[in-house]
């Protein structure tokens, strides 16, 4: 139904972040899948910064590091309210942004 309301959450991480000795972004995606969140994506960025630190960029000679990873997911307000407490625990002090959005196409069924 075009024009339906939803909630979009963006989580700003870096590739070195871990949860129980595993990559945090993959652990968050796994949690969101198990929690039946409608849609989620993790994006590995080529450049960026977190928390007023210096800009990190990708170089072919580097393996691993502090490049940004952004997770975005969309669901109903009720469902987001259920998963956010666990995400806040997993992400520690990382930035989490919540926005009300309008679905221009598709639905959350």
Helix (H) or strand (E) holding 18: strand 18-19
The predicted model scores a pTM of 0.86
pLDDT tens-place string over residues 63-102 = 556 788 999 999 999 999 999 999 999 999 999 999 999 9
Q: What is residue 62's DSSP assignment?
A: -
> Scanning the structure block, which residue is given the tokens 């959350």?
108
The pLDDT of residue 100: 97
């Amino acid at each position: 139904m075009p024009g339906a309301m939803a909630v979009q959450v963006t989580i700003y991480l870096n590739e070195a972040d871990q949860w129980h000795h595993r990559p945090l972004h993959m652990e968050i995606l796994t949690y969101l899948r198990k929690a039946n969140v409608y849609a989620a994506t993790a994006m590995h960025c080529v450049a960026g910064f977190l928390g007023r630190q210096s800009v990190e960029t990708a170089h072919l000679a580097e393996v691993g590091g502090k490049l940004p990873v952004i997770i975005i997911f969309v669901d109903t307000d009720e469902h987001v309210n259920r998963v956010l407490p666990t995400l806040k625990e997993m992400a520690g002090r990382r930035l989490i942004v919540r926005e009300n959005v309008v679905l221009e196409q598709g639905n959350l069924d």
